[in-house]
Amino acid sequence: MELRAAHAAERDKVLDLLALWYGDRSFFARYNLNDRSFRDDLCLIARDGGRLVATLQIFDRRVRLAGQAVPAAALGSVFTHQDYRGRGIASALISLAIATMEREGFEVSLLFSDRLNFYGRFGWRSAFRVITIVSPPSSEHFTSAVALRPFDRARDLEQVRRIYDRYSGRFNTSVVRDKSYWLGNLSFAGNPDEFFVVAAREQAATAPIVAYARTIRYYQLPAVMEYGYVPGCEDAMAALIAELVALVSGRAQEGPLARYEEATLLKPSEGAEQTTALLAQTAHDPALENALTAKGFSLTYHTDVNYMWRVVSPTRLAARLGWPADEVRKNLFSLVSARDAVFWTADRF
């Protein structure tokens, strides 16, 4: 069995293998084509003779920890052909991945998986990522204090980028994004579809954006995968979320977002299981939660335990953050599991 990094000429074969996962080759192709940090040498494979039988991908990210941008290896697309399972191939690839992460200078690693015991054997541990279930008030009407419109990349990206940096940049575990990352992320985050809405105080298309939200169907449930707002504009952010919930609950047939074709992503479809709630992440932001509850919304919480982290280089991480060497792992898990940390679903891999 040959274990190594993939060659550029093997990209199609890797995608062919991943297509066996759940019959959607394009899902994985969108990352390979649009993630500007994609590198063939971070795509690891196992070959049996001339046959590619297993793969995984290390996604190159930077995350904020204790005020620093820390090199993070996000592990995903881990798949073994069913004919080769139970032979330790995935374990061997994980071991190669760890060595690759260390060689490439990554300091931490994260992944999402329900195979907690498997990854636990290699040093990853569950952290706590809090998902909020936003349920509407009993009143039949929502009133919007902001002007809402779909995001336009050419017109809105620079404003949204500044809001992201200022808002998400305050929180541990948020991903550091440059313009190149943003351009790729806009093509793969929804994978394939998202409804991206921006909010202003005035109707004019040139009015400054004060809040935004990116929404998807996440495991068939309507979800906000990322949002941000200008400091002091919690009311605008709450108003935007209120309109999104109105779409989800079917109360917004005449609302400001209902006329947009993209809004069908959130509207209840005929015959589908109905819901009036919207998934989001709000636990890191008490000010926004206060604005939502003041509007009558109820917030309940679900802890995602399939969110796992690992220290890759204790020495480098300790030096970067000024931590005692013997407290690196404890301190990392304290940060990534804290209620005031946020890793957006838009940055999933």
Is residue 295 situated within a structural domain? yes
How far apart CA 312 and CA 208 sit, in angstroms, is 42
64 with 173, same domain: the answer is no
Q: Buried (b) or exposed (e) across 251-287, using 16+ Cβ within 10 A?
A: bbeebbbbeeeebebbbeeeeeeebebbbbbbbbbeb
Helices (H), the chain: 11-22, 25-34, 89-104, 116-120, 153-167, 179-188, 234-249, 286-294, 314-321, 328-336
pLDDT at 177: 98
Domain count, the chain: 2
For residue 241, give the CATH number of its domain: 3.40.630.30
pLDDT at 101: 98
174 with 227, same domain: the answer is yes
How far apart CA 93 and CA 87 sit, in angstroms, is 12
33 with 84, same domain: the answer is yes
pLDDT at 141: 54
pLDDT at 144: 65
pLDDT at 180: 96
- Mean pLDDT per block of 10 residues along the chain (349 residues) reads 97 97 95 94 96 98 98 98 97 98 98 97 96 86 78 98 98 98 97 96 92 93 97 96 89 77 83 79 98 95 96 98 97 96 97
Listed residue (87, 14, 26) closest to 51, CA to CA = 14
**Cis (ω within 30 of 0) for the bond into 256?**
no
How far apart CA 329 and CA 94 sit, in angstroms, is 20
Q: How far is CA 288 from CA 41, 170, 240, in A?
A: 42, 14, 11
Yes or no: say if 142 and 251 are a contact pair by the CB < 8 Å rule. Answer: yes
Instruction: Please state whether 115 falls in left (phi above 0), alpha (psi between -120 and 50) or beta.
Output: beta
pLDDT at 271: 57
Is residue 348 situated within a structural domain? no
62 lies in which domain range?
A: 2-127+306-337
pLDDT at 239: 94
Asked whether the whole model's pTM tops 0.75, one would answer yes
114 with 178, same domain: the answer is no
Q: How far is CA 294 from CA 65, 137, 250, in A?
A: 32, 10, 22
287 with 146, same domain: the answer is yes
149 with 286, same domain: the answer is yes
Exposed (0-12), middle (13-18) or buried (19+): which is 71, by Cβ within 10 Å? Answer: buried
Listed residue (2, 12, 100) closest to 58, CA to CA = 100
pLDDT at 95: 98
pLDDT at 116: 97
How far apart CA 153 and CA 50 sit, in angstroms, is 43
140 with 251, same domain: the answer is yes
Is residue 245 situated within a structural domain? yes
Q: Which residues contact 230 (CB under 8 A, 6 or more apart)?
A: 163, 166, 167, 209, 210, 211, 236
pLDDT at 310: 98
141 with 80, same domain: the answer is no
Which SS3 state, helix, strand or coil, does residue 88 take? coil
pLDDT at 332: 98
Is residue 25 situated within a structural domain? yes
Is residue 73 situated within a structural domain? yes
Token pair for 282:
């709000």
